[in-house]
Homo-oligomer: A and B are copies of this chain.
Amino acid sequence: MRVVESMNKEKITIIGAGHGGYSATADMILKGYDVTLYELPEYRENLFPLIKTGKLRVTGEIQGIVDIPKIEIEINKAIEFATIILIITHGGTHRKLAEMMAPFIKGEQIIVLLPGYTGGALCFEQIFKQKGVKKGYTLAEANTLPYACRKITGEPAVHVKLYLKKFLISAFPAVKNDEFLSVFQKLYPNAHKVENVLETGFNNGNPVLNVVPCVFNAGRIEYAKGEYQHFQEGVTPSVARVMGELDLERIGVGKSLGIKLVPYLERVMETGYVQSNASWYEAIQTSLHLTAKGPDSLQHRYLTEDVPYGLTPWYHFAKDRNIDVKLMESLIQLASALSDENYFETGRTLEEMGINDMTNHELNQFLLYGS
């Protein structure tokens, strides 16, 4: 690894020690970067296996055992010395994280949300602006986590089932895209540049992929407590058809914003997630996660993240542009009822992204130039 190491001078802080954080930590250390791993106080038990053993094992499409990375529990130490910060956390932490990080952002740092859900980078920008963070940083956002991965419970280990063959990324403002990509593609050669950070957000597949089966199997999930094959059993032909309809609504919202979105099924083959895209049903039945067990409760990111940070911002865009998204709205409504939380209110809004009351022209200028 030493040859590689000497080539990679970036100091990377990874925020989040969940499935994705473990994978990225191993991946970046194996690529020779100087990595610091930070976890939020409320999820700190994620760090215990690493602290205990001093090692991190990765299996699957990435393989190796790496020495324990630097582990930080103080945000200032995690941020100050990093040149690149990869944020790999639940969408619900973005606001809080931005506020915690703001005082320590210095100079030309690059902050990447892996993924941003929808508008994550814009939310960071708003908070940084409010907190008076000095310009110079670059925000960026991916459409998805670059790994299909699962931690081995209680062990300092993660299994990477798939290193996505392709994922989408953009900087904010997008005018920095080429400069940003010249650095970021060294970390992730499979990152593919798109127009701006709304194109990444609207190309997050999870709100369609996860919310529909979750709502239509809510009873099953709560009864079986995870002991069933969620996609294989839960995505039946009718459920799959509704996923397709929701995807059309997503594309319609994009269109109203001037973003040309391709159907998820056209995109997903490129990631390596599925073996067929002849239909939503076939795609799911040939997917990598086919035999994965179900969510073990309704308090699962398929609802608690993919609704408020995925469907909800899409819905707010739709309402703002007078686009009819009845299916999206109904799913948010029923997910809210199931979770006993009003996701229309608690989810991400255009105000939080700082782009309410913008025409499409103003929005595109803002996404490109940052003002």
Contacts and interface: CB of A to CB of B under 8 A. Distances in A.
A213 B219 contact: yes
A16 to B, nearest CB: 28
A235 interface: yes
Contacts of A234: 219-220, 223
A338 B223 contact: no
Interface stretch (A6-14, A238-246, A257-265): A238-246
B338 A216 contact: yes
A235 B219 CA distance: 6
Contact of A233 (B220, B236, B337, B340): B220
B217 A236 contact: no
A234 B221 CA distance: 9
Contacts of A330: 329-331, 333-334
Interface string A139-157: 0000000000000000000
Given A217-B217, A327-B333, A331-B334, A222 B242 contact: no
Given A218-B216, A220-B220, A220-B234, A242 B329 contact: no
A340 B240 CA distance: 12
A88 to B, nearest CB: 29
A interface, by DSSP: helix, strand, loop or mixed? helix
B298 A238 contact: yes
A334 B223 contact: no
A215 B334 contact: yes
A237 interface: yes
A131 interface: no
- Copies of this chain present in the complex amount to 2
A324 to B, nearest CB: 11
B326 A333 contact: yes
A237 B331 CA distance: 19
Contacts of A340: 238, 241
B233 A223 contact: yes
A231 to B, nearest CB: 10
B245 A219 contact: no
Contact of A238 (B216, B217, B222, B327): B222
B215 A217 contact: no
A225 to B, nearest CB: 10
A346 to B, nearest CB: 16
Contact of A218 (B217, B327, B331): B217
Interface in A197-226: 213, 215-220, 222-223
Contacts of A236: 218-219, 222-223
A150 to B, nearest CB: 22
6 contacts: A215-B334, A218-B239, A223-B233, A223-B234, A238-B338, A329-B330
3 A-B pairs closest in CB distance = A222-B236, A330-B330, A330-B333
Given A216-B219, A217-B218, A241-B337, 20 more contacts: A215-B215, A216-B218, A216-B334, A217-B217, A217-B220, A219-B233, A219-B234, A219-B239, A222-B236, A222-B238, A239-B338, A242-B334, A245-B337, A326-B333, A327-B334, A329-B330, A330-B330, A330-B333, A330-B334, A334-B334
